[in-house]
Structure 1
Amino acid sequence: MSDHSGTVPDAVGVPGPPRLTRWFDERLTRAGVTGRFARDCLLAALLTVLTFLVMTLLFRFVAPAEGLTFGPARVWSVIALCTGQAMLLCLRRVRPLLCLALVVGVQVPVIVLSVPEATVRGIAPFVAAYTVGVLLPVRTALLAAGAAVAVETSGVAVAVRAADAADFAVGGPGPGPLATTVGHLATSVLIYVGLVVLGSYVATYRRYLRLVRVRADEAVRAQQATVRAAIGAERARMARELHDVAAHHLSGMVVQAAAAERLIDSDPSAAKAGVGWIRSQGKETLDNLRLVVGVLRGRPGDSDGNAPVPGLAMLDDLVRDARQLGSPVEFVRDGQHRDVPPIADVALFRIVQESLSNARQHAPGAPVRVELRFLPRKVSLEVRNDRPTRRPEPRSSSTGGVGLVGMRERANLIGAQFTAGPTTAGGWSVAVTVPTTGDDARATGATATVNGDDQR
């Protein structure tokens, strides 16, 4: 029987209640025996029957074998008192101090009725003392145990003196009153104080297990929160990657579709060629999306193993595609080409890709200049477009600023300086500077400055 009616959920890696205890709790709950008092009444009934059987065997077989004889009235009085003492255990957890006091109060007449050489003690004192140690603070429990020892020892002293004066002992002279009293005192201390200490230890161990379970549960919840945060960050990264790929290709397809729509009556062959380009561009878009999703999932089987990873080496193809869509793009490469870290290589490519898509959407027909400079200690990249030559098509306001946020986050990820904003000529400029050698290359922080309000 546990000392509390509720149960604490077991944490991962922390031992829970013993299997036998859980089995009994489940059976008692199914039987409708719930709550402390109801279960203690059941325990008291079982111990009452057990006490009756033990006392009957004691007086019928053990005492005669030891040469001790008792009158029938005394035997049945002791048995009745001990069984009644066991019935008091129904109060052991609802009123532990009262239960111990009543048990000790019944124990005194049991001592008086038994001979000093063979003081009888039932099961109830052991259970009551242990319960007090489990439920009460250590100091209170020890004071209660000391009081129980004092009361019982006083009863023994009175009984021994009375037996010595009236020649109460049966079966020959026994030890002196002082020796009997001291022996009973030692026994009482061992029983009451020892079981109180044992109960206090068990209670402390149970509290420790509950604390460990709570801390383990908190650790599990913290780990789950970390996993959820990582999943959210990965979803955001996937959304940015898909946005970059889809925005670049689909914006070109929209432009080409509009041109084909205008030419379908006047120049069917040109319109047919435009539709064919849209079909090929759509296939390329699907291939790129499949590549991105496969890489982000970490499942190589979902992507083409021979597909090139986007980087600065593919800027020429990116610029050529933009020119095919009718955007006047100038690409300037300065300095001796050298490799940059893979994550920076991909990030710079995606920034150029997003900048060209933004220029096509927000400044249609405006000249665009892409400058890639390999300097001694850094790589700088700038995409600048002039004022639009025609009015841009209206777009949903819910998508504003997503591309610029993605570019800024990519720059932060690689520790680059990022600047984006309108130019004095009415256009727009995006500039990124990545340190490649020395202390700057090991920089972990990043500075991002946006001049003016987000427009992309």
Structure 2
Amino acid sequence: MSPSRPDAPASAEVSGWPDRLGARFDERLTRLGLTGEFRRDAALAVVVAVVSTGLIAVLVTVPAAAIIPGLTPFQTVTAIVVTAVQSLLLCLRRVHPVLCLAGIVALEVPLVAVLPAGQNLNGLAVFVAAYTCGTRLSARRTAEVLVVAALLEAIGFAVLNLGPALRAGSPLVEGGPPLTTAALWAVLAGHLASTLLTFGAGAMIGAYVATRRRYVDLVRVRAAEAVEAQRARADAAIGQERSRMARELHDIAAHHLSGMVVQAAVVERLIDRDPQAAKEAAAWVRGQGKETLHNLRLVVGALRGSDDDALDDGAPVPGLGVLDALVGTARDLGTPVELVREGEPPELPPIADVTFYRVAQEALANARDHAPGAPVRVLLRDDGTAVVLDVVNEASGTRAGAPAEHRGLGLVGMRERAQMIGASWEAGEIPSGGWRVRLSLPSETPSPETLPSDTLSSGALPPGTLPSGPGATA
């Protein structure tokens, strides 16, 4: 009967293929034993080093693809070694992103020093380092770091690469005019723009990835909170339904079974002395048993939602209209009951009508169980401002006890029923030693839908209503 519960947040609905691909890649790295940031970055550094050095080797040695023709073997080896070392520094990219970028930029110094004038090489390491700064640092901090790095690289390029060519009057292109100051500034500006573009592209992609990760994490957290809230609402609904079931089953069983116990004791006493009276008592017990079974079937049918089982052919719904029959049954069981009505017969909503009946039923059952033989007075009054049910039983010379673990359940059920209809309810011992149960429903009452949900499922009694006298428990 409990509602189905989602056990995991539906975060997959907001995750695209990059997230799913990243999750698979992360799972495979974990299987390979690469669990920490440093280990994974070290593996990435090795891969980038292999790819970068391979590309540099092809681009500077193969004539058809050479981007810087005419390099000497020393220049070629220096370019490959520097590119490899730059790539290996990526093992620090997430541990110390600024230090990683600084080391990679610093290694550009020996590279531009040995390359021909106006020439420079950048491997993948520079882009990856800028990307990492975008993911790890704030936007302002990333911009400051990248601008400083680009300026330092441009200064190194100007001093170590373009400066010697300017002093020697060497041309930037074979057969071209000598390098002038104006041409130097033009080349330096182009180099700085290219460097800033490389750094900026990597940082922007990194910032986008970081923003998307934070968004996905936020959606997952909110999805988890929504699931938890739904679970709490389901638990509250289940608790309320259990309380309602407990009230119905207790009211039916306590009333009928307590009477059956009393009559069974009568049968036991009369079976030898007055067999005819014992037979009549046994027949009454059988009738009560059938009625109890019928009522239990009504409850089970209502819970299952089966109209065929839950509804009986014209069976009356318990309410104040059958209060006389309830009092008559209590009298048949040996309890002297006086029923007093004051005012016009009250016209109550169905749920309130059932509540008044159940409270009277429970109060009479309590009096029969815990103050057997004591007189009971039932007062039903409607004075135009409120409908009041007052059940008072006097003290009895003999008091029947109840197991400690079952004490107070009837009072809890009466209190919950009163809360559901917005009525006030009191129960307690009177000065004469008896017990009193009072239910009062004002003429203008809130509907059950406006009552707090926690009051509908709470089983705690209000202060001053703990059972302490005859008729206290069921």
Give the partner amino acid of 1:396: P
Aligned partner of 2:15 in structure 1 is: 15
Corresponding position of 1:4:
none
Shift of 1:177: 0.7
Please give the residue correspondences for 1:270-349 in structure 2 after superposition, counting only pairs within 5 Å. 270-296=277-303, 298=305, 300=307, 303-306=310-313, 307-349=315-357
The residue type equivalent to 1:368 in the other structure is V
- Shift in alpha-carbon separation, 1:9–1:348, aligned structure 2, 3 A: closer
Separation in 2, partners of 1:131, 1:392: 82
Quote the Cα distance in structure 2 between the aligned partners of 1:381 and 1:337: 12
Moved more, 25-34 or 130-139: 130-139
- The Cα shift of 1:274 comes to 1.8
Which amino acid in structure 2 is aligned with residue 177 of structure 1?
L
Percent of residue pairs identical: 48
Is residue 385–residue 428 contact of structure 1 (8 Å, CA) maintained in 2?
yes
Q: How far does the alpha carbon of each residue in 1:398-439 deviate from its partner, in whole angstroms, 9 at most, with x for none?
A: 333332232223222212232333445543332222123xx4
Q: Does 1:265 align with 2:272?
A: yes
Alpha-carbon distance, 1:120 to partner: 1.8
Report Cα offsets for 1:132-182 as digits up to 9, x if no partner. 222234444333222311221012212112223332634333771110001
Question: How large is the RMSD of aligned CA atoms in angstroms?
Answer: 3.2
Q: 1:160 aligns with which of 159, 162, 168?
A: 162
1:45 aligned residue: 46
| CA distance in structure 1 between the aligned counterparts of 2:59 and 2:65, rounded to whole angstroms | 9
1:211 matched to which residue of 2?
218
Q: Is the 8 A contact 2:112 2:119 kept in 1?
A: no
Contact conserved, 1:401 with 1:454, CA < 8 A, in 2?
A: no
Specify whether residues 431 and 95 from structure 1 end up closer, same or farther in structure 2 by C-alpha distance, changes over 3 A only: closer
1:94–1:420 CA distance, 2 compared to 1 (3 A): closer
Q: Determine whether 1:98 maps to 2:105.
A: no
AA aligned to 2:167 is A
* Counterpart among 402, 407, 412 of residue 400 in structure 1: 407
Residue 430, structure 1, aligned to residue 432, structure 2: no
- Aligned equivalents of 1:281, 1:86: Cα separation in 2: 90
Correspondences of 1:406-425 after superposition (within 5 Å)? 406-425=413-432
One-letter amino acid of the structure 1 residue matched with residue 378 of structure 2 = V
What code does the residue aligned with 1:269 have?
Q
Mark the CA change 1:62 to 1:359 in structure 2 (over 3 Å): closer, same or farther.
farther
Number of equivalenced pairs: 446
Q: Taking structure 1 as reference, are residues 13 and 180 closer, same or farther at Cα in structure 2, changes over 3 Å only?
A: same
Asked whether the equivalents of residues 338 and 377 of structure 2 are also in contact (C-alpha less than 8 Å), the reply is yes
Counterparts of 2:25 and 2:184, CA distance in 1: 46
Q: Take 2:325 and 2:251, find their aligned partners in 1: how far apart are those partners?
A: 16
Deviation at 1:312, TM superposition (A): 1.5
Cα-to-partner distance string for 1:190-246 (whole Å, 9 max, x where unaligned): 222443344244324423432342343234223323332332233233223222211
Question: Which residue in 2 is equivalent to 1:77?
Answer: 78
Matched to 1:195, the amino acid is G
Distance in 2, Cα, partners of 1:208 & 1:58: 40
Q: Does the CA contact (< 8 Å) of 2:60 and 2:68 recur in 1?
A: no
- Paired residue type of 2:372: P
Pick from 221, 224, 228 the counterpart of residue 228 of structure 2: 221
Distance 1:70 1:364 in 2: 115
Q: Secondary structure at the match of 1:265?
A: coil
In the alignment, does 2:123 pair up with 1:122?
yes
Per-residue deviation, 1:303: 2.9
CA shift at 1:391, angstroms? Answer: 1.1
Indicate if the aligned counterparts of 2:87 and 2:124 stay in contact, CA closer than 8 A: yes
Return the alpha-carbon distance in structure 2 between the equivalents of residues 314 and 62 of structure 1: 108
d(CA) in 1 for partners of 2:288 and 2:98? 86
1:248 match: 255
Match of 1:179 in 2: 186
Q: Which amino acid aligns with 2:55?
A: V
Alignment of 1:364-403 (within 5 A): 364-388=372-396, 390-403=397-410
CA distance in structure 1 between the aligned counterparts of 2:92 and 2:441, rounded to whole angstroms: 77
Which stretch has the larger CA shift, 18-27 or 301-310? 301-310
Aligned to 1:3: none
Equivalent residue, structure 2, for 1:88: 89
Shift of 1:62: 7.7
Residues 449, 45 of structure 1: alpha-carbon distance in 2 compared, 3 angstrom cutoff: closer
Instruction: Give secondary structure in 1 for the equivalent of 2:95.
Output: coil
Tell which deviates more after alignment, 333-342 or 96-105. 333-342
Q: Would you say the 8 A contact 1:417–1:448 is kept in 2? A: no
**More off after superposition, 301-310 vs 160-169:** 301-310
Contact 1:116 1:180 in 2 (8 A): no
Q: 1:343 to 1:60 in 2, by over 3 A?
A: same
Decide whether the 8 Å contact of 1:334 with 1:374 is kept in 2.
yes
Give the Å deviation of 1:61.
Answer: 5.4
Which of 233, 257, 277 lines up with 2:240 in the alignment?
233
Deviation at 1:259, TM superposition (A): 0.2
The residue type paired with residue 355 of structure 2 is A
Query: What is the TM-score normalised by the length of structure 2?
Result: 0.83
Aligned-partner SS, 2:345: coil
